[in-house]
Chain A
Amino acid sequence: MSKTTAGSIIEVKNLTKKYKELTAIDNLSFDVKKGEILGLLGPNGSGKSTTINCILSLLKFDQGEIKILGKTMAPDALDIKREIGVVFQDVAVFDELTVWENVNYFCGLYINDKETCKQYTEEALKLVGLEDFKKFLPKKLSGGLLRRLNIACGIAHKPKIIFLDEPTVAVDPQSRNNILDGIKKLRDDGATIIYTTHYMEEVEILCDRIIILDRGKIIAAGTNDSLKDLAKVKERITIEAELSTKIQAKIAELRDVVNVKYDGKTMVISYKDARKNLAELVSLLESSRISYGKIFSERPTLNDVFLELTGKELRDQ
């Protein structure tokens, strides 16, 4: 059973964690591969932070095994910890220290050489775009900038493995883009990244592989595209037009259509396959001489996947 998956940086096997009665993590197993950005996507309370805290040996767990870089993770496994950078969900900085000092302090927990530490501090501040705020106290930073500082503190020591727990919560769009760009840069520099969020667009643009969590269980895992293939509805076309009952029936009979909804103004048509649907619909409308307003086609989102698998919505925005 204990076969080590080649290229796995982190191996989580049968992890179960209970808070008294509540099973927060339920027999979770997954691997993180070298150099990838793995997205842990799940709604509030699905167990993302708990998973990370278990992997980091902060939390006791009831069952399971955690290996990082091939070794069993433990609180005193300092050689493993040296390779890890963590950005926790809550901002964790010292209010008494300036932006620069904060990054330098946390970097100094990993890097003993003073000059290297200084240099890394500068580089981290540059990465998150806080060069102009070095002397600021955290109190004086906006929410977005504070989040960026939080990230800089976690990654300044150039770790090989980075955990980011919802780093973009309550962040303005500019900071969010800056943060996402920074994370891509870290991956391009060779880091392996575990990224949790409940924003599906973030995992869509950022993650190489996605695990969807719900109530401490993996409900789906794979790449963005492979997950979307899970959705029964592969395409959805929305059209604004006045449609007679006759034409409505004709549309419902088109190839691959699984569902049609019409409110007298807008029709939403769901297809189980995405092959030339728009073209066929348009030619039908034109041959029936029906004029239409807006018409557009959508591919399924991760939210659709989540909705189909769990019957509820991923909270988004």
Chain B
Amino acid sequence: MKRLLYNFKITFKNKELIFWAFGFPIIMATLFYGAFSSLINYDGMEPVKIAFVENEENQLYPVYNLVIHSLSVEDGATKTSDSKIFATTYINNRESAETSLRKDEIDGMIYFDNATDFPKLMVMTNSLNSTIIQNVMTEIEQSITAGHTFEPANLKSAGDQKMDYIMVEFYTLLAMACLYGGMIATKALDKNLANMTSSGRRIAVSAVSKAKIILGTLLTSYIIQLIGLAILFVYLTMVLHLDFGPHFPMVVFFTMVGALTGLALGTFVSAVFKVNENTKDGILTGITMLGCFFGGMMGPSMKYLVDSTIPIVNKINPSAIISDGFYALNAFDPDSNRFWLDVVSLFIITSILSTVSIIVLRRQKYDSI
């Protein structure tokens, strides 16, 4: 017990570690919030400008014509309302629509390639607006494929869609914080391993078994990680007033699962890589940041690109899985397959990392120290 208290003290006194594990996510959250605040405090926003290229020959054209119309604001209106989120220009030739797109006069163009297929979407930039158009087009296509009539009323308002988009950023931020917290375990374990530090050597020759030492270290590291995440949540909800949806207990549960993955990752880095402290920090930061990048931290377009070209990456990328889980929890409900698939994936990743770590950590004698 006393040993655990000392472990806490040793970690909390490591200012650099506390900054990276606790302070850094809060700073990132603040920066994100600053970047999105103009969007978050919306109050009817500018409609998304699109061009709809007419094509009577396509069999789906009449349906789309109706739907797009119902999603569009009155001519000249400058604010969206409910599901009316587009300011649509109807054009009969594709070239001039493309020209407008290039000139940045519109955010996207919808056109038909031939007589049978669903319409295509062309956007120029990977902006929030292009994401909104993409989402809407996907939803329409899905309901038509499923044989339903598309209900514009079911579509989220533009404001909500923006909020979803913004929240994804914060979900990846939470993912980052979960994984980054693994650094606490890395540092704490290193201090206890004979082949890493001289203090570890001293502990290794002591009268406490290695298993006890390691379990104690991991327990304190996990608790400290959770404290850091709790502080981050308080900041996100109380100070930034972000809404994590109606299933907050599940959000907490999922965060704990994510933090466990972070703990396993931190343990893995400590156990497996026999390199100096800074290199270990680099490895952990690298894995986390690259994962978050592929998972959409710098805008969802990266995630979109990765998902569509090499889908396996984000299926095993803990950052992407964690942020996807938060998304699923908010967009669907806790019983959704997608959410539980994410939970199971995290448990699998955690088990693999832990198993490898245990095999390495079981060693009691070293070839050289």
Contacts and interface: CB of A to CB of B under 8 A. Distances in A.
Interface stretch (B55-63, B74-82, B193-201, B317-325): B193-201
Contact of A97 (B6, B206, B366): B6
Query: For the complex, would chain A's binding face be called helix, strand, loop or mixed by DSSP majority?
Result: loop
Given A84-B205, A105-B3, A109-B207, A94 B10 contact: yes
Contacts of A109: 3, 203, 206-208
B148 interface: no
B78 to A, nearest CB: 59
Contacts of A108: 2-3, 6
A166 interface: no
Interface stretch (A74-82, A221-229, A235-243): A74-82
Taking residues whose C-beta sits less than 8 angstroms from the other chain, chain A's interface range is 20 to 34
B276 interface: no
A96 B10 contact: yes
A42 B133 CA distance: 78
Interface string A70-100: 0000011010011010101011111011000
A249 to B, nearest CB: 58
Interface stretch (A1-9, A57-65, A125-133): A57-65
Contacts of A91: 198
B9 A96 contact: yes
Contacts of A90: 198
A58 B198 contact: no
A154 interface: yes
A56 interface: yes
Interface in B267-324: none
B365 A75 contact: yes
B205 A81 contact: yes
B211 to A, nearest CB: 9
B206 A58 contact: no
B14 interface: yes
B368 interface: yes
A94 B191 contact: yes
B210 interface: yes
Contacts of B9: 96-97, 101
A96 B13 contact: yes
Contact of A86 (B14, B205, B208, B369): B205
Contacts, number: 81
Contact of A58 (B199, B209, B365): B365
Contacts of B122: none
A105 B216 CA distance: 14
- Between B9, B199, B208, B209, the greatest number of chain A beta carbons within 10 A of the residue's beta carbon is seen for B199
Given A58-B194, A84-B205, A114-B2, A97 B10 contact: yes
Taking residues whose C-beta sits less than 8 angstroms from the other chain, chain B's interface range is 20 to 34
A27 B202 CA distance: 26
B204 interface: yes
A30 interface: no
B206 A101 contact: no
A262 interface: no
A19 B202 contact: no
A84 B13 CA distance: 30
Given A86-B205, A88-B202, A58 B369 contact: yes
A84 B198 CA distance: 17
- Between B3, B14, B202, the greatest number of chain A beta carbons within 10 A of the residue's beta carbon is seen for B202
A81 B198 contact: no
B364 interface: yes
Interface in B310-369: 364-369
A106 B207 contact: no
A92 B209 contact: no
A59 B367 contact: yes
A164 B208 CA distance: 20
9 closest residue pairs by CB, A with B: A75-B364, A92-B198, A96-B13, A109-B206, A82-B207, A90-B198, A92-B202, A96-B10, A60-B365
Interface of A: 19, 53, 56-60, 75-76, 78, 81-82, 84, 86, 88, 90-94, 96-97, 101, 105-106, 108-110, 114, 153-154
Given A57-B205, A75-B365, A81-B205, 11 more contacts: A58-B365, A75-B364, A76-B364, A78-B208, A81-B207, A86-B205, A94-B10, A96-B10, A96-B13, A96-B14, A114-B2
